[in-house]
Amino acid sequence: MKRSKTPEAARKRRHLRIRKRIRGTQEKPRLCVYRSLSHIYVQLIDDDRGHTIVAASDVETQDSAKGKNKSDVAKLVGELIGKRAKEQGITTVVFDRGGYQFHGRVKALATGAREAGLEF
């Protein structure tokens, strides 16, 4: 079987490698990041039940994101997911970067979530 050499296939292989070690529970869910070219999405997932507890994306923050660059918008999304997690009583999470480098928008999202009170 021949491996696909596209960047997206490489990211998926990295994500599967990460997911072998990372698992979210009800008390400490997995903070999963998905980044497209124009948007960023984040979810808190309970892998034991296979449910999404809380989700947020930059699509929801369109009004407050006017005139900001993608990293600033990602930080807003991180603060939003942190606020929603606090409302659910969640303070600690396991960070799943989704195969992306911890750099740029992913790092900004993590910073926003930490500033909102999430620990990881």
Please check whether residue 19 lies inside any domain of the structure.
Answer: yes
The number of domains in the chain is 1
Which pTM was predicted?
A: 0.91
The string of pLDDT tens digits covering residues 61-111 is 888 878 899 999 999 999 999 999 999 999 999 999 999 999 999 999 999
Q: Are 105 and 71 in contact (CB under 8 A)?
A: yes
Is position 24 within any domain? yes
Looking up residue 66, the CATH number of its domain turns out to be 3.30.420.100
Asked, for residue 93, whether it belongs to a domain, the answer is yes
Determine what percent of the chain falls in helix, strand and coil, rounding each to the nearest 5.
Answer: 35, 20, 45
- Residue 85, in any domain of the structure: yes
